[in-house]
Amino acid sequence: MDVLNTRPEPSPISLGIRANLAQFALLVGVNGLVGALVGQERSLLPLLGERVFAVGSSTALMLFIVSFGVAKAGANLAAGYLSDRIGRRNVLLLGWIVGIPVPIALMLAPSWSWVIAANVLLGVNQGLAWSSTVIMKIDLAGPRQRGLAMGLNEFAGYLAVAISATATGWLAARYGLRPEPLFLGLAIAALGLGLSAFFVKETSAHMELENGRTEGKSFGEVAALASYKHRGLAAASRTGLVNNANDALAWGLLPIVMAGQGLTTLQIGTVAGVYPAVWGIAQLATGALSDRIGRRIPVATGMWIQAIALLLFWKASDFSHMIGSSALLGFGTALAYPALLAVVGDLAAPSWRAAAVGVYRTWRDGGYVIGAVAAGVLADLFSVGTALVIVALATALSGWDAWANLRSSSDDLNSLV
């Protein structure tokens, strides 16, 4: 009788942010460090190219973003594939190991080609480390709080980008462009590796708990769904690509625009920091908002606001106007960014969600490559203003694409699992 009445032991694993608060908060902090490592370049590298290495062409200057984007896109794809094979935590550790040499290479770089090579390593670091923290937070949060989880993840990452960009601008204004500002990056990478190695735990068991009886898909099937076969996933990938094309332009060309208008190094660092600061902080609200009202409205509205902000940058004539344009660009990005990640979490079954996140982030970060090349060529052929206007128009069209193709997540989910 005892055997007949025996009930299975409840699983020690549960889903939800509160139930996994310690690990979730740790991963928020780790992703902040991932963002801080790339943030040091926001105000520094365009000025290094212009003032130290005398890079005269906008296209040549933007090559450091192209190398970053290509490497990050490939690393995102690898992160999605490897997370289900060697574990999410191991992918995170690999990302930090690759990131350690980046600030050292920038300190010692004798030529612009060294900077481009260092950004290949940075792209791999960002693709592996950021993707793994996204996947791990989705695992922990469960289906009801994906928007909030992604808002918190991106809040930490991009607020850290802002703080790091501003701090680097201040250090550069006080001590020079290198090496002093880059010691900050070395400390960030060492701390990120230490926390990940000693305190972060694997989350694959949480995915398995949520997965239930759904069947997996091959990586090729997932890539096809997220790239062109599935209406919602493909729309998310396209919209993410345009969003990051905007970021490439903001990263590579806007500091040069500001320098041409006579802004000081400290002012350029401040404007470069406002954009990711608003982007990061606003995501505390916008991610949760998408859990309540759906993903389509925040994504489409965010893209339209970004288009307006780029046009305002085109007309900005002084420091205060650029601060306002930078803040608006950050708010538009905050509306779209976590909602797009949540779309992928909604539409992909747990068994192949890591691969779907990797494919989506590959397309999204391919926007760095397309945006950097397009903006650089347009600026060289015509003007920076022309580049801003054309990218703004593409962003507005992307908003309409998202509005037309992002439908009810639950309807699409039923057709995919």
Q: What is the pLDDT of residues 374-415, one digit of tens each?
A: 888 888 888 878 888 998 999 999 999 999 998 644 444 434
Kindly indicate the confidence band of residue 356, based on its pLDDT and cuts at 50, 70 and 90: very high
| Residue 161 in this model has a pLDDT that exceeds 80 | yes
| Distance (Å) of CA 7 to CA 2, 137, 208, 213 | 10, 31, 21, 21
Report the CATH superfamily, name and number, of domain 18-202+217-416: MFS general substrate transporter like domains (1.20.1250.20)
Kindly indicate the confidence band of residue 122, based on its pLDDT and cuts at 50, 70 and 90: very high
Closest to 272 in 3D by CA, of 149, 121, 158: 158
pLDDT recorded at residue 321: 86
Quick one: angle between helices 180-198 and 21-47, nearest 10? 160
Residue 199 DSSP label: T
How many Cα neighbours within 13 Å face the side chain of 286? 29
Which comes out higher in pLDDT, residue 82 or 351? 82
Segment 272-307, tens digit of pLDDT:
778 888 888 898 899 889 989 989 999 999 999 999
pLDDT recorded at residue 154: 84
What is the b/e burial string over 372-381, where b = at least 16 CB atoms within 10 angstroms of the residue's CB? bbbbbebbbe
pLDDT recorded at residue 212: 60
Which comes out higher in pLDDT, residue 234 or 13? 234
Average pLDDT over residues 32-48: 85
Lowest mean per-residue pLDDT among 47-51, 229-233, 304-308, 408-412 = 408-412
Segment 170-183, tens digit of pLDDT:
888 888 888 888 89
Pair of tokens at residue 209: 């708990």
| Cβ atoms 169, 40 nearer than 8 A | no
Lowest mean per-residue pLDDT among 45-59, 148-162, 165-179 = 45-59
Segment 320-337, tens digit of pLDDT:
888 999 999 999 999 999
pLDDT recorded at residue 181: 86
Kindly indicate the confidence band of residue 211, based on its pLDDT and cuts at 50, 70 and 90: low
Checking phi first, is residue 201 left (phi over 0); if not, alpha (psi -120 to 50) or beta? beta
* Domain parsing of the chain, residue ranges: 18-202+217-416
Kindly indicate the confidence band of residue 112, based on its pLDDT and cuts at 50, 70 and 90: confident
Stretch (H or E) spanning 127? helix 112-141
| Residue 222 in this model has a pLDDT that exceeds 70 | yes
d(C-alpha 349, C-alpha 139), whole Å = 11
Average pLDDT over residues 104-127: 91
Lowest mean per-residue pLDDT among 21-30, 239-248, 262-271 = 262-271
| Distance (Å) of CA 69 to CA 245, 342, 409 | 10, 22, 29
| Residue 417 in this model has a pLDDT that exceeds 50 | no
| Cβ atoms 287, 158 nearer than 8 A | no
Average pLDDT of the chain? 86
| Residue 2 in this model has a pLDDT that exceeds 50 | no
d(C-alpha 125, C-alpha 335), whole Å = 25
Residue with tokens 């699983």: 11
Cα torsion 128, 77, 26, 204: sign:
negative
If one counts every other C-beta atom within 10 angstroms of the C-beta of residue 4, the result is 5
Amino acid of residue 107: M
Average pLDDT over residues 106-129: 91
Residue 318 DSSP label: S
Stretch (H or E) spanning 321? helix 319-347
For Cα atoms 302, 154, 103, give the angle at the middle one, nearest 5 degrees: 120
Closest to 190 in 3D by CA, of 36, 340, 324: 36
Residue 213 DSSP label: T
pLDDT recorded at residue 414: 39
If one counts every other C-beta atom within 10 angstroms of the C-beta of residue 284, the result is 18
Average pLDDT over residues 212-219: 69
| Distance (Å) of CA 375 to CA 275, 287, 390 | 19, 29, 9
| Distance (Å) of CA 257 to CA 43, 246, 279 | 12, 15, 21
| Residue 145 in this model has a pLDDT that exceeds 90 | no
pLDDT recorded at residue 215: 63
pLDDT recorded at residue 170: 86
